[in-house]
Amino acid sequence: MTRRWIGSALVILVLAGACVQLGRWQLHRLDERKERNHVTTSNLAAAPAPIGEIVGADHVVGPQHDWRTAVVTGRYDASKQIVVRYRNVNDRPGFEIVTPLILTDGTALLVDRGFLARQGAELAPSTIPPVPSGEVTVTGRLRRSEHGGHTSGGTPVDGTARLINGPDYASTLGLKLYDGYLATDQQQPAADPAFGKFPGPEIDDGPHFFYALQWFFFALMAIGGLVYFSRQDLEKDKEPEDGAPGEAAEVADRNRSEAVVGVSDSSGPAPKE
């Protein structure tokens, strides 16, 4: 029970406890994902409905609305169109074209009109299909506003952005926008065929369960290593070391005994002349 051993044991126990907590956190994320998958599956199966019947008066697309099919009617405002860069659909890099749709009640909704694959090394699409003139009806999937690590990623700059975020766009475009957007499935009049379709959601449990098993395994390895090396130290302590004081004393006692015996054997009466 040296200071070094106690310190090492405490460090290992803390690491093992941290691994257990990380494993529990992964299981918590698994439960969240299962709950989200249930909501997504229900929303995908729901019948299309006007957006006013889905989203409340706060105009916020929440987690309970994600992937729900909504129907909106209005007019596109092409003057406030945004090119969203650094997008990827089916492992193809490109751009998404987001255009505000002005609804009949005066509010506006960001509509992701579609995906344009990048051609070569272009930094912006060379050609953007024009918006239909007049009133249009769009059917699509409601999505929540995007948030990322970039502080200005959702704020349009020179007509481009990296994220689709209703409140950030509203402050720049000067529109009363929904907090969220609509990813187009169908449009009347029909959308330009140059736009690519969006993939559906991933409905699976993800890697969280296996990540949890890995963290629990690391915790077991830490505890097992502590037990193993502790037993090794104990076995080493039981073995006598070369030149140990106990062994030296034993050798000295044996030598003294032999010397006494030798003296006794050499003593006796002197031989007669």
Question: What CATH number should be reported for the domain holding residue 180?
Answer: 2.40.50
Yes or no: say if 36 and 63 are a contact pair by the CB < 8 Å rule.
yes
| Collapsed DSSP state (helix, strand, coil) of residue 71 | strand
At 3 the pLDDT is: 80
At 247 the pLDDT is: 55
Cα–chain center distance at 259:
80
Considering the domain boundaries, does residue 177 fall inside one? Answer: yes
152-184: pLDDT as tens digits: 577 899 999 999 999 999 989 999 999 999 999
At 263 the pLDDT is: 45
**How far apart (Å, rounded) are the C-alpha atoms in residues 23 and 66?**
28
Q: Indicate the pTM of the whole model.
A: 0.72
Alpha-helix residue ranges (DSSP H) falling in 131-207: 166-173
**How far apart (Å, rounded) are the C-alpha atoms in residues 166 and 104?**
18
| Collapsed DSSP state (helix, strand, coil) of residue 123 | coil
Q: Which of 47-51, 130-134, 195-199, 212-216 has the lowest average pLDDT?
A: 195-199
Considering the domain boundaries, does residue 119 fall inside one? Answer: yes
At 259 the pLDDT is: 52
Considering the domain boundaries, does residue 80 fall inside one? Answer: yes
Respond yes or no on whether the N-terminal peptide bond of residue 189 is cis (omega within 30° of 0): yes
Considering the domain boundaries, does residue 109 fall inside one? Answer: yes
Residue labelled with tokens 């299962």: 34
**How far apart (Å, rounded) are the C-alpha atoms in residues 209 and 212?**
5
**How far apart (Å, rounded) are the C-alpha atoms in residues 218 and 233?**
22
The model's confidence at residue 240, banded by pLDDT at 50, 70 and 90, is low
**How far apart (Å, rounded) are the C-alpha atoms in residues 83 and 116?**
10
| Collapsed DSSP state (helix, strand, coil) of residue 69 | strand
**How far apart (Å, rounded) are the C-alpha atoms in residues 114 and 188?**
14
Considering the domain boundaries, does residue 235 fall inside one? Answer: no
pLDDT above 50 for 19: yes
Considering the domain boundaries, does residue 33 fall inside one? Answer: no
pLDDT above 90 for 252: no
At 255 the pLDDT is: 59
Highest-confidence segment of 100-104, 191-195, 200-204: 100-104
End-to-end C-alpha distance for the chain, whole angstroms: 71
The model's confidence at residue 149, banded by pLDDT at 50, 70 and 90, is low
Considering the domain boundaries, does residue 268 fall inside one? Answer: no
User: How many domains does the chain divide into?
Assistant: 1
At 273 the pLDDT is: 44
Q: In terms of Cα–Cα distance, which of 245, 99, 119 is closest to 182?
A: 99
Share of the chain above pLDDT 70, in %: 84
Mean pLDDT of 132-156: 86
Mean pLDDT of 115-143: 92
Q: In terms of Cα–Cα distance, which of 142, 123, 129 is closest to 56?
A: 142
At 163 the pLDDT is: 95
**How far apart (Å, rounded) are the C-alpha atoms in residues 8 and 43?**
52
pLDDT above 80 for 34: yes
The model's confidence at residue 231, banded by pLDDT at 50, 70 and 90, is confident
Look up the domain containing 120 and give its range: 48-188
Q: What are phi and psi of 24, to 5 degrees?
A: -65, -35
pLDDT above 90 for 216: yes
Considering the domain boundaries, does residue 37 fall inside one? Answer: no
